[in-house]
């Protein structure tokens, strides 16, 4: 079983309607930079690749990494603009 929720301070007392509106602007502002990055990346690679990259960056940000560090980490996983051997 995954214990991530036990350590998430926002998990307790979650009312989906309250939290949705309370965190909406914060969440959207936090991810806007990587959304724009992904849109540009998709033009040069593929949108599948860009979605993987942006999702990995967002996941790392959710773990507490700063956006630029998360982006650098994910980019370091690429070989010839791909994450997997071809």
11-28 per-position pLDDT tens digit: 555 555 566 676 788 889
Query: Domain limits of the chain?
Result: 16-76
C-alpha 32/C-alpha 24 separation (Å) is 12
d(CA 3, CA 67): 24
Radius of gyration for the alpha carbons in the chain, expressed in angstroms and rounded: 15
Please report the DSSP string for 35-54 in residue order: HHHHHHHHHHS-HHHHHHHH
Query: Does position 9 have pLDDT exceeding 70, yes or no?
Result: no
Q: Which residues pair with 82 in a beta bridge?
A: 79
Structure token digits, residue 45: 């690679």
Structure confidence by residue, pLDDT tens digits, 35-51: 999 999 999 999 999 99
């Amino acid at each position: 079983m995954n214990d991530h929720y036990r350590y998430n301070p926002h998990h307790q007392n979650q009312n989906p309607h309250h939290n949705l509106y309370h965190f909406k602007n914060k969440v959207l502002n936090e991810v806007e930079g990587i959304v724009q990055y992904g849109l540009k990346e998709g033009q040069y690679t593929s949108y599948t690749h860009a979605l993987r990259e942006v999702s990995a960056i967002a996941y790392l940000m959710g773990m507490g990494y700063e956006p630029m560090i998360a982006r650098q980490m994910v980019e370091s996983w690429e070989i010839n603009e791909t994450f997997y051997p071809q």
